[in-house]
Chains A and B, each alone.
Chain A
């Protein structure tokens, strides 16, 4: 069965960068995309963007444009999300989720990772 395993928790200082990984298994990686969603403590869900594992096309949320980069490695069936210039507002639980879209996000997120905690603190 499809599974997404995310990297461990991170603590970063303001201004630093973080790169979260999402190792997939149990399905054909390039037939899907990966969406990234974050959730600040006690808050709701925020869609960050999507990447096609087929051709690397990306869509990013406007408020994160210029600070976020999503990539994939088809040889290891792993997706990555890098967020730069971190502030305390980026403290959140970051989820990756499988998305059937290969040419655009369908936001049909049917398999989720358990989440990666990122804490930004001086």
Chain B
């Protein structure tokens, strides 16, 4: 049972905007940065968003992150077939003194 909550799946057609939510508590998202990782099928995870809303170089600006209170969101605009992947949120949990991941959201491009 993860301390961060994500919907198991999300979908959209090419070009659409998809939003993935990550819900936590005051001990994690409420007091620490949120990170997002993308895992394409059969590959290692990739850093997608850091410090709530920053994109590493090379990540398209179609991906954006936001945080409010104890929740965070990842938005993918202009959805493309290559965006089909699992997306994980992560945050430090002060109570556990550990990094915690959400259970992941599988994005399907219809």
Contacts and interface: CB of A to CB of B under 8 A. Distances in A.
B92 interface: yes
Interface pairs A-B: 7 shortest CB-CB: A107-B99, A47-B99, A112-B44, A45-B101, A44-B104, A44-B103, A110-B47
17 contacts: A35-B99, A44-B2, A44-B86, A44-B103, A44-B104, A45-B37, A59-B98, A61-B96, A62-B98, A95-B45, A97-B45, A107-B90, A107-B92, A107-B99, A110-B50, A112-B45, A114-B44
Contacts of B92: 105, 107
B27 to A, nearest CB: 14
Interface of A: 35, 37, 44-47, 50, 59, 61-62, 95, 97, 105, 107-110, 112-115
Contacts, number: 57
A59 to B, nearest CB: 7
Nearest to A96: B44
B101 A95 contact: no
Nearest to B91: A107
B2 to A, nearest CB: 7
A47 B39 CA distance: 15
Contact of B101 (A44, A59, A112): A44
